[in-house]
Amino acid sequence: MVSRVRVWLNRTYAENVFFMDQLRRNPGDRAVEIHATHGDPDSPVLAAADTAELEPEGLSPAAYVEYALAQCERRGIDVFVPRLHQAAIVAHRAEFEAAGTALLAPPPEAVAVFHDKVIAYEAVQAIGVPVPPWWRVRSADELVAAVDELEAGGYRACFKPASGAGGVGFRVITRAPFSLTQLSGFPSPHVPLGLVLDALREADEPVDWLVMPRLEQPEVSVDCLTGTDNRIRLAVGRTKNGRRRGFTLHEQWLEPARRIAEGFGLHYLSNIQFRMLGERPVLMDVNTRPAGGLHQLSLCGVNAPWAAVRLALGEDPGELVPPFLGQDYT
C-alpha cells in the first residue's frame, strides 16, 4: 500500500490554496496531508490545510530553522516547501534529510545568487542571458546620475529594492511635480523625482536600489521544474499583456529560462520573469520558489505542484509537455 504524503507549506501566499488543491487532486490519487503554518490567523492557507498552526513571531533565521526541524519531526513531514527564511533553511538540508524531510527548494548557492538582483543580473549576463541596463543606487546623487542617463537614452526610469520579492517597493520616476493628479483615482507607482531626492537626502542611512528602464509588456513568467541533475522537466510560460492572460511555449522565452534554471541549479520549482526592452525580451526577475500563479498551468493539463513533490520524493516524473495550451483569458 502506498503511504500518505505529508507536505508542509510555511507562511506562503494566499493564492497557494490552489497549490494545495492540486496536490490533493494528483493524477495517481495518492493520499496527501497538508500542514500549513502562518503568522496571520486569518490566512486562507490555514483554513485550507489538514493541520495548521500559528508561527511564533520574532524568530531569527537560525531560530526559525530549529522551529522548522521540530515541526518536521513532530508532524512527520515528507516534503517541506519553504518560503519564509528559505536561504537559512536550505543551508541545513542535511539535517532535514536526517529527519526524513525532503526540501522542495534549490541548493543554498542558487538561492544566494538570486537573493540580490545585482548579483543575479551579473551572473545571468555572464551566461549570455540578456538583461536591461541597470545601476545600483545608494544615494541621491547616484539616483540623479542613473535617471539622467536612462532618460538620455529615451527610457523611463524605475527603481526597486536590490533584494526583495514581487513588486514590493517598485516605483516609476516622473519629472512631473507633485499635484492633485497624484491624489485622484487609484494609487499609482509613479513618484516625482524631487520627492524621492528629498527623502533620500533626509534619510539616516543609504538605500540599496536597482535603477533600470521601465520595461514593457508582454510580461512572461516561465514556470520551471528542474531535477537535482540540473535537467529541466517542465518549462511553460504564462503571459500577461494588460488584463489578458495566456500561455506560451515560444523558445524566445523558454530557452533563456532553461539556461538559467539548468545553469544555476534551480532545483524543483522556480519562476523566471521576462519583459520587453524595445524589441527583445530581457530578464526581469528570478524567484527561487513556486510562483503564486503556478496553479494556472492546470489550464494546460499540467499538475506542476504534484510533479515537484514526486521529484522531491525521488519519483522522477520525466519530461512533462503540456498536452495543450489553455485559451487566453482576462
pLDDT in tens, 243-272: 999 999 999 999 999 999 999 999 999 999
Q: Write the DSSP symbol of residue 329.
A: B
Name the grid cell of 182: 497624484
Domain 111-130+215-312: give its CATH superfamily: ATP-grasp fold, B domain (3.30.470.20)
Give the model's pLDDT for residue 2. 77
Written as one letter, the residue type at 324 is F
Helical packing angle, 140-152 and 193-202, nearest 10° = 160
Instruction: Give 33-73 pLDDT, tens digit per residue.
Output: 999 999 999 999 999 999 999 999 999 999 999 999 999 99
- How many residues appear in the chain? 330
Q: Are 97 and 120 in contact (CB under 8 A)?
A: no
Name the grid cell of 273: 520573469
Burial class (CB in 10 A: 0-12, 13-18, 19+), 219: middle
Instruction: Give 73-127 pLDDT, tens digit per residue.
Output: 999 999 999 999 999 999 999 999 999 999 999 999 999 999 999 999 999 999 9
Q: Which residues contact 299 (CB under 8 A, 6 or more apart)?
A: 247, 326, 327, 329
Taking the complete model, does pTM exceed 0.75, yes or no? Answer: yes
5-104 against 111-130+215-312: fold identical: no
In 3D, which of 125, 52, 60 has the Cα closest to residue 87? 60
Q: Are 30 and 70 in contact (CB under 8 A)?
A: no
**Residue range 201-220: average pLDDT?**
97
Complete DSSP assignment for 213-268: E-PEEEEEEEEEEE-TTS-EEEEEEEEEETTEEEEE--HHHHHHHHHHHHHTT--E
The hierarchical CATH code for the domain 5-104 is 3.40.50.20
Q: State percent of the chain over pLDDT 90.
A: 93
Distance CA 163, CA 316 (A): 33
Burial class (CB in 10 A: 0-12, 13-18, 19+), 138: middle
Q: What are the extents of the domains in the chain?
A: 5-104, 111-130+215-312, 135-213
185 compared with 36, residue with greater pLDDT: 36
Give the model's pLDDT for residue 1. 59
User: Angle 298-300-303 (CA atoms, 0-180°, nearest 5)?
Assistant: 40
Name the grid cell of 93: 538540508
Is the confidence at residue 166, as pLDDT, over 90?
no
Q: Are 303 and 26 in contact (CB under 8 A)?
A: yes
